[in-house]
């Protein structure tokens, strides 16, 4: 019996995991008791699949090495794009990909990244490590990559250091079928048809790296730049305005007050910094239970942020036409020891998987307003899905959360009330359990649970109103250690397995979630 199977079995019997050596003398901790009422008869809002979006920036090995290796690389590729990465991403059905930044977007000049690769100018990536960017991955390569993984492109334009004419030209180059100089330049560069351009962002973090603007100044600039982002025949652009960072409610208020009519989506950025101290964020893999708890406490704050930003949006847009677009979120740790500090490369443990699980449950629950979210970032940067090292590739625990949660894509949110026990460490309380529920078009109800408690399993009694639990199945993501992570030597340390710790009850079903786990239960 391997460790994961042992763990699963122990979880089913409701005992906490105890290392073999200590099992004889340590008493198992009692499970927490929790309830979830699911209103299967009250589904109304759709969980946009775009909540499961990703973000890739020209930053460290996010693009080069991670996606792009070039056609001459010995690493198997299709037109320069890694085949292993494409195959892995197809499995999590990435709905939308944001590019080229981030901060890089407001120093990116798109014409540098088109035409024959050898003629493209090299520039300095001043924000991320001061490295030379050869521009070999540009608009055509990005669109090709989106096509290969089946994602919709979300292109972020340059407001901070670019002109209105430049932004206007990029949209024309991508999406116009006219016999115009820019559409013809695209044809000359090998692409006859325009690409669909469903999403375009007017700048990034313009309150900071995107130009240090006031909300009033940015709102005016948004209106000006946006005027020239045209909908060419056959294409309709969803316009994303730069939104607030964290708790900056004033920014949201000003943008909504001045520009709501022209905005389709307003962004929000929130990073979970485990220590709360940007100068010492903490290690991705070495941490205590107190740090585990504090990380999750900080991750859960996004619920309050979404609620409060959404309430401001409600004031100006009660019909909820404007989407809240959480286009950067995730855990930001100290970089991997010995790696370039400008490359933001970090390992990804079971703790990160729990952050992803609770955050996605929160976005699902707010799907009446949250229309897109993009975890930062897809490959080799921050809370990534994938890590590469030359020809090697592994997927992270966070990847598996995205895989488990694919069942929610475009499903109907089922309202639910969760009463969770407290998980208390050092006097700080957080709920031990997080959950969200949806019904897919075939009628299957899916519940994604997270048990945040490191030590205690969680009993969840689920009352199903308006449905019956005839058939149950599930999968669970957990590991014996809180800092378990996948490495190139041990790529499957954290991976989901079958979950069986459930049973039907008179009014629904109950499940016993192992400590520190993400669990998917399907109810037919």
Catalytic residues: 205, 328
- Tell me how far, at minimum, the Cβ of 328 lies from ligand AHR, in Å: 5
Cα torsion 304, 309, 311, 315 to 10°: value is 170
Among candidates 28, 60, 4, 51, which has minimal Cα distance to 302? 51
Q: How many residues does the chain have?
A: 524
Cα dihedral: 484, 355, 50, 183 (round 10): -70
Residue (309 or 409) nearer to ligand AHR, CB: 309
Q: What's the rounded Cα separation, in Å, for the pair 82 and 273?
A: 31
Q: Where are the alpha helices (DSSP H) in 159-317?
A: 164-175, 181-188, 215-227, 249-259, 289-316
Give the separation between CA 516 and CA 16, rounded to whole angstroms: 10
Give the binding site for ligand AHR (CB under 6 A).
57, 101-103, 204-205, 328, 376-377, 382
Residue 381 vs 520, nearer CB to ligand AHR:
381
Backbone angles phi, psi at 118, to 5 degrees: -70, -15
Least distance (Å) between residue 365 CB and ligand AHR = 24
Q: Looking up tokens 């292109």, which residue turns up?
A: 155
How far is the CA of 419 from the CAs of 219, 224, 361, 458, in angstroms? 41, 48, 15, 12
List Cβ<8 Å contacts ≥24 apart for 5-9: 5/497, 7/478, 7/479, 7/480, 7/514, 8/476, 8/497, 8/498, 8/499, 8/500, 8/501, 8/514
The secondary structure element, H or E, covering residue 458 is strand 458-465
> Residues 309, 268: contact at Cβ < 8 Å?
yes
Q: Which is nearer to ligand AHR, 80 or 101 (CB)?
A: 101
Q: Peptide bond preceding 102: is omega within 30 degrees of 0, i.e. cis?
A: yes
Residue 318's contacts (CB-CB under 8 Å, 6 or more residues apart) are: none
Q: How far is the CB of 334 from ligand AHR (least distance, A)?
A: 14
Judged by CB, which is closer to ligand AHR: 206, or 283?
Answer: 206
Where are the strands (E) in 343-407, listed by range?
Answer: 370-376, 386-389, 392-395
Q: Which is nearer to ligand AHR, 57 or 141 (CB)?
A: 57
Give the CA radius of gyration of the chain. 23
- The span from the CA of 172 to the CA of 181, in Å, is 10
| Closest CB 246 distance from ligand AHR, rounded Å | 11
Rounded distance between C-alpha atoms, residue 125 and residue 381, angstroms: 15
- Tokens 């090299």, residue? 122
Nearer to ligand AHR, 28 or 342 (CB): 342
- Smallest distance, ligand AHR to C-beta of residue 34, A: 34
Tell me which H or E stretch contains 261.
Answer: none
Q: How many CB atoms lie within 10 A of CB 291?
A: 18
Q: Which is nearer to ligand AHR, 115 or 342 (CB)?
A: 342
Strands (E), 300-427: 323-331, 370-376, 386-389, 392-395, 412-413, 416-419, 422-425
Complex with ligand AHR: residue 29 or 273, whichever CB lies closer: 273
Q: CB 113 → ligand AHR: shortest distance, Å?
A: 17
Token pair 């709102």 in the structure block, residue: 219
Q: How far is the CB of 383 from ligand AHR (least distance, A)?
A: 10
- Nearest approach, Cβ of residue 381 and ligand AHR (Å): 7
The residue (of 382 and 414) whose beta carbon lies closer to ligand AHR is: 382
Distance of alpha carbon 465 from alpha carbon 447, whole angstroms: 14
Q: How many angstroms separate the CA atoms of 452 and 362, rounded? A: 14
Residue 257 has which token pair? 């007050």
Q: Which residue's CB is nearer to ligand AHR, number 205 or number 403?
A: 205
For the CB of residue 318, give the shortest distance to ligand AHR in the complex, in Å.
Answer: 30
Q: Do residues 270 and 305 make contact, with C-beta atoms less than 8 angstroms apart?
A: yes
Q: In whole angstroms, how close is the CB of 40 to ligand AHR at the nearest point? A: 38
């Amino acid at each position: 019996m391997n460790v994961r199977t042992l763990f699963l079995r122990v979880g089913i019997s409701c005992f906490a995991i105890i290392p073999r050596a200590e099992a004889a003398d340590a008493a198992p901790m009692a499970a927490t008791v929790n309830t979830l009422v699911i209103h299967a008869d009250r589904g109304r809002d759709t969980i946009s699949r775009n909540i499961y979006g990703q973000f890739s920036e020209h930053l460290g090995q996010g693009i080069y090495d991670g996606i792009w290796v070039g056609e001459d690389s010995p690493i198997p590729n299709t037109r320069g794009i890694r085949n292993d990465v494409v195959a892995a991403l197809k499995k999590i059905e990435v709905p939308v990909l944001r590019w080229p930044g981030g901060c890089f977007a407001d120093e990116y000049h798109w014409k540098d990244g088109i035409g024959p690769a050898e003629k493209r100018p090299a520039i300095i990536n001043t924000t991320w490590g001061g490295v030379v960017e050869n521009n070999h991955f540009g608009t055509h390569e990005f669109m090709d990559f989106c096509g290969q993984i089946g994602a919709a492109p979300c292109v972020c334009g340059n407001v901070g250091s670019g002109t209105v004419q430049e932004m206007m030209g990029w949209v024309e180059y991508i999406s116009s079928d006219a016999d115009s100089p820019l559409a013809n330049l695209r044809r000359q560069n090998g692409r006859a048809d325009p690409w669909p351009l469903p999403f375009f962002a007017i700048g990034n973090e313009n309150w900071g790296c995107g130009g240090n603007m006031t909300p009033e100044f940015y709102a005016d600039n948004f209106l000006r730049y946006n005027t020239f982002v045209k909908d060419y025949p056959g294409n309709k652009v969803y316009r994303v305005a730069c939104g607030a960072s964290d708790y900056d409610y004033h920014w949201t208020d000003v943008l909504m007050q001045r520009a709501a009519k022209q905005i389709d989506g307003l962004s929000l950025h929130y990073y979970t910094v485990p220590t709360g101290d940007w100068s010492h964020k903490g290690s991705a893999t070495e941490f205590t239970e107190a740090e585990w708890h504090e990380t999750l406490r900080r991750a859960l704050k996004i619920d309050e942020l979404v609620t409060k930003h959404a309430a401001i949006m409600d004031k100006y847009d009660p019909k909820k036409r404007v989407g809240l677009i959480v286009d950067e979120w995730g855990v930001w740790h100290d970089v991997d020891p010995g790696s370039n500090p400008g490359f933001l490369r970090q390992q990804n443990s079971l703790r990160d998987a729990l952050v992803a699980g609770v955050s996605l449950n929160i976005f699902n629950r707010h799907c009446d307003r949250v229309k897109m979210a993009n975890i930062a970032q897809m490959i080799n940067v921050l809370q990534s899905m994938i890590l590469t090292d030359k020809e090697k590739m592994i997927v992270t625990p966070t990847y598996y959360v995205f895989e488990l949660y694919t069942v929610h894509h475009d499903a109907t949110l089922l309202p639910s009330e969760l009463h969770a026990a407290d998980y208390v460490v050092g006097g700080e309380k957080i709920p031990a359990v997080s959950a969200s529920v949806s019904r897919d078009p075939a009628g299957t109800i899916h519940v994604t649970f997270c048990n945040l408690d490191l030590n205690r399993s969680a009993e969840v009694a689920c009352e199903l109103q308006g449905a019956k639990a005839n058939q149950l199945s599930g999968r669970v993501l957990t590991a014996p250690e809180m800092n378990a992570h996948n490495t190139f030597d041990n790529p499957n340390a954290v991976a989901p397995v079958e979950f069986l710790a459930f049973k039907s009850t008179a009014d629904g079903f109950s499940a016993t979630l192992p400590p520190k786990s993400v669990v998917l239960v399907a109810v037919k």
